[in-house]
Structure 1
Amino acid sequence: MEWSGRGVVLTTRKYGENDVILEAMTLDHGRHLGLVRGGRSKRHRPVLQPGNELDLTWKARLSEHLGQFQVEPLSLRAGDLMTSSVGLAGLQHLAFLVRLLPERYPYPRLFDALVVVLDHMSAADAAGALIIRFELELLRELGIGLDLSSCAATGIREDLAYVSPKSARAVSREAGRPYHDKLLPLPSFVLEGQRQAGSELTWADVRQGFDLTSYFLNRHLEERGSGDSGTRAQLLGALEKRYRDEFPWNF
């Protein structure tokens, strides 16, 4: 068995004296593990850092085996990510989210979204919004995607302001007004699919976006009998500080 393709490093763990087991999110084979011979060497160590994008070749005698990776660097972004509190917390949170997916199943849209997030992690006005979009895509892949196309009560597509926690469907401002306290706020930037994030986004907008995705992710974790890793709280703390420092007028 053999395949080659792109992958983003999630984690590594020591295996023996010189080798490591690499966990990567790949374009065509999803979350995948494999052994890297000499992975703790001076040559491989800087390459096998979380967030780096690699050209991977995986080989094994049988498909169910762990197998071995051969690695070549494509984009070494780990150094920049790890010097930033948002970058470091974001890496840990994204790795936690990806582990909610089954191994060895392709999620090409999610892989592309991961690459976009990592490439924009240093942009204070984009990182939070892009991670929220990543979480929305993850929810869709988990089979619990939000339907934000129209109002669940009236069918209209304009002025959507809430999400029903029961149906995960959007609700218009007028229809949701009597039930305001029971609905989740829907920040408008989430609806603007192609626009990523701009400096006009306030911290309140970003926080509402995370509150929205957190509700459904936490419910999924409870159904699985698992808990929050704590990475979200660390990420929110780092993002809040960045907003305070760089966009105090939008805080």
Structure 2
Amino acid sequence: MLAVRPHGETSAIVEVLTAEQGRHAGLVRGARSRSMRPILQPGNQITVNWRARLSEHLGMFQIEADDLTAGMVMEDRTALAGLNSACAIAVMGLPEREAHPRVHQGFQLLLGAFDNPDIWPALYVRWEAGLLSDLGYGLDMSACAVTGVTEDLTHISPRTGRAVCREEAAPYAPKLLELPPFMAGSGKIEAGDIARGLALTGYFLERRVLWPIDKQLPEARGRLMAELEQVGRL
């Protein structure tokens, strides 16, 4: 589940991320009841049955709980910030009712990693990069855009999204975006790599996905970066 928005006195509009229908919204009656509140938390894995008179209608969800992941994540302030940021990015960036099974699969992997602070920040960065790729704005980290070499790729062109090797990047480094080695599939995660990865994916999320629809990166993502910095994992 991605988001819950109150609707009237007792109901809510719930947004979920599904493998086959993508981001999908529906009305849940009684959503604010004591029994439903623990289930309707972002990050929980649920089964939904959607019904509507016409396909273009909002429709209604019938919900059953599968895995209440959110309860465990809430005990870790930093992991909760990561969950909230991923949910917000998915809500803002994914078109409604358009299937993106790889984004869905990556989101599930991320949920399963939130209990391991040594792993999930890098997975989060990779998930954002995967979302960009699935939307048609993938970063090309396969080879240097200038020479074609596949090793020592250190930067990304902000114009093309293609990798540049260290030698070719050197004269233009201030104008390029740094590419942390873990995103290119090599090297361990060093200090500052998560910050560089988030700066990279954030740049393209803003300019390729959000700005064209008059949106900016959500506040939840800024809170994630602040939390990661505070615990020394940025």
Q: With structure 2 as the length reference, what TM-score do the two structures score? A: 0.92
Give 3-state SS (helix, strand or coil) of 1:190's partner. helix
- Return the offset for 1:61: 1.6
The letter for the 1-side match of 2:23 is R
Question: Structure 1 residue 105 and structure 2 residue 94: aligned?
Answer: no
Unaligned runs of 5+ in 2: none
- Return the offset for 1:188: 0.7
Question: Structure 1 residue 33 and structure 2 residue 34: aligned?
Answer: no
Question: Structure 1 residue 66 and structure 2 residue 54: aligned?
Answer: no
- Percent sequence identity is 43
CA displacement 1:119-167 (0-9 Å, x = unmatched)? 1123211121011011101111222111111110011111111111111
- Return the offset for 1:191: 1.5
Give runs of aligned pairs for residues 184-203 of structure 1, distance below 5 A: 184-192=177-185, 201-203=189-191
Give the aligned length. Answer: 232
Counterpart of 2:162?
Answer: 169
Give runs of aligned pairs for residues 45-194 of structure 1, distance below 5 A: 45-99=37-91, 100-192=93-185
Is this contact kept in 2: 1:51–1:78, CA < 8 A? yes
The letter for the 1-side match of 2:52 is A
Q: With structure 1 as the length reference, what TM-score do the two structures score? A: 0.86
Question: Structure 1 residue 207 and structure 2 residue 195: aligned?
Answer: yes
Unaligned runs of 5+ in 1: 1-8, 245-250
- Return the offset for 1:227: 2.2
- Return the offset for 1:172: 1.0
How many angstroms apart in 2 are the aligned matches of 1:190 and 1:228? 21
How many angstroms apart in 2 are the aligned matches of 1:204 and 1:14? 39
Q: Which moved more, 1:16-25 or 1:43-52?
A: 16-25
Is this contact kept in 2: 1:24–1:32, CA < 8 A? yes
Is this contact kept in 2: 1:125–1:201, CA < 8 A? no
Computed over aligned residues only, the root mean square deviation of the Cα atoms, in angstroms, reads: 1.8
How many angstroms apart in 2 are the aligned matches of 1:26 and 1:64? 18
Is this contact kept in 1: 2:43–2:111, CA < 8 A? yes
Give 3-state SS (helix, strand or coil) of 1:80's partner. helix
Is this contact kept in 2: 1:124–1:242, CA < 8 A? no
Counterpart of 1:233?
Answer: 222
CA displacement 1:159-180 (0-9 Å, x = unmatched)? 1111111111011112222222
